[in-house]
Amino acid sequence: MEQNYNTEQPEGGVPIKMWTRGVPVEDEAKKQLANAARLPIVFKHIAAMPDVHLGIGATVGSVIPTLRAIIPAAVGVDIGCGMMACKTTLRAVDLPDNLAPLRAAIERAVPHGRAPGARDPGAWQKPPGAVDTAWATLEPEFKAICRDYPKLAKTNHHQHLGTLGTGNHFIEVCLDEEGAVWFMLHSGSRGVGNAIGTMFIELAKQDAMRNNVHLPDRDLAYFEEGARYFGDYVRAVGWAQKYAQLNREVMMRRVIDAAKTVIRKNFQSHIEAVNCHHNYVQKETHFGQEVFVTRKGAVSAKQGELGIIPGSMGARSYIVRGKGNEESFQSCAHGAGRAMSRGEAKRRFTLADQRAATEGVECRKDKDVIDEIPMAYKDIDAVMRAQQDLVEVVHTLKQVVCVKG
């Protein structure tokens, strides 16, 4: 297989293999990658995906393999954030001419962070029965975790299950290249995942200070196997990843049920379905070595494995099949990747720009979503060209309805 990456060798660190040909990479992101590459726990090399950009501690769009250790800030606070997509038996002609009622039905069915009104519009005031049932499968292990970390019991855990969140989280109705209708959404472990991530990131920093560990960046503090908090973190992060996956499943069911109240034609969903994380850590074997692989803004792309690479609001998205490229630790990009900060996007673009960029999409078109304008992201087509040796495109999706968090 022809390789499509460039290699950079930071002084005192492992190599960085970058799938970024034809895609700009900010200097700050390169410095952040080099900092991670200098950690003694990193195995073999770091892989940088084409959507790579500056993050907190670890770079978004990076794949970091570590030996007998995990970096909590590399996993981040949106633990288990990822995508779910379902193909239906509907065709484009089956959708109503006016898509506003469909968007409104989805917005009513799934709490999302920017909705007006309630004290916490992103949480259930009274969770429906399906949410209670899903929570019952998560609750026993969560209670066990809370016995050691009681502050976590005060988070919005049950109330956030089956909710979207804010920022770049979204729900979309899309059409593929043959006119089939798909439902797609993007979310993670919500408030409880944030609390778990934040708490263990701080504990890792305290450990590093107590043990006089020299770090190129305090946010790269890590737990080694056998350390006081290592096992607790592995358990908590694993639970949050299960929560995130279930969160997407609960939301998808509610989205489909809501669509059935507006679309009068009977249809089947889950003709094809994908549910994948892109902010997570798990134990894997690469180059004959068992390691912890942290994908911060990256998707698993094992041989034949399906994944989702969304574009930005108004841009194409892709259902892909992994090629199992070992040099990338069998990974691919998780999206277009931001080209500028949210503040910069709001300074640079106008409401007219946002409306023009989302023409033909039933979505919010107001000043509060300008930071999600497609031009604030990298060119998704360039991102896809840069990783042709990592994935092949199975379906190309274009949204017709978009609900933003």
Q: Could you tell me the pLDDT band of residue 312, with boundaries at 50, 70 and 90? A: confident
Amino acid at position 166, single letter:
T
The crossing angle, in degrees rounded to 10, of helices 230-262 and 190-210 is: 160
| 97 contact partners, CB below 8 Å, separation of at least 6 | none
Instruction: Dump pLDDT digits (tens) for 126-166.
Output: 999 999 999 999 999 999 999 999 999 999 999 999 999 98
Ranges of each domain in the chain:
6-339+377-404
Tokens encoding 361: 């999409």
Q: Nearest-CA neighbor of 298 among 11, 61, 138, 39?
A: 61
| 190 contact partners, CB below 8 Å, separation of at least 6 | 156, 160, 161, 163, 165, 243, 244, 247
Residue 341 pairs with which residues in a beta bridge? Answer: none
| 148 contact partners, CB below 8 Å, separation of at least 6 | 232
- Give the count of alpha carbons within 13 A of 255, CB side only: 31
Instruction: Dump pLDDT digits (tens) for 86-118.
Output: 999 999 999 999 999 999 999 999 999 754 444
Q: Mean pLDDT in the chain?
A: 94
* Backbone torsion region of residue 44, taken as left when φ is above 0, otherwise alpha when ψ lies between -120 and 50, otherwise beta: left
**Looking at residue 372, what is its pLDDT?**
87
Q: Nearest-CA neighbor of 306 among 342, 333, 273?
A: 273
| 37 contact partners, CB below 8 Å, separation of at least 6 | 10, 13, 14, 15, 16, 45, 46
Known catalytic residues are 334
Above 90 in pLDDT, residue 373? no
Give me the mean pLDDT over the 192-220 stretch: 95
Give me the mean pLDDT over the 306-314 stretch: 90
Angle in degrees, CA 363, 366, 368, rounded to 5: 105
Rounded to whole angstroms, how far apart are CA atoms 306 and 297? 16
Which of 326-330, 343-347, 400-404 reaches the highest mean pLDDT? 326-330
**Looking at residue 119, what is its pLDDT?**
56
Above 60 in pLDDT, residue 17? yes
H runs (alpha helix) in 263-376: 342-348, 351-357
| 18 contact partners, CB below 8 Å, separation of at least 6 | 5, 6, 7, 8, 25, 33, 47, 48, 52
Q: What is the CATH number of domain 6-339+377-404?
A: 3.90.1860.10
Q: Could you tell me the pLDDT band of residue 1, with boundaries at 50, 70 and 90? A: low
Give me the mean pLDDT over the 340-354 stretch: 90
**Looking at residue 40, what is its pLDDT?**
97
Q: Which residue has the higher pLDDT, 44 or 357?
A: 44
Residue 181 · residue 94 · CB < 8 Å:
yes
- Least reliable range by pLDDT among 115-124, 294-303, 359-368: 115-124
Q: Nearest-CA neighbor of 83 among 258, 270, 272, 319?
A: 319
Q: Could you tell me the pLDDT band of residue 369, with boundaries at 50, 70 and 90? A: confident
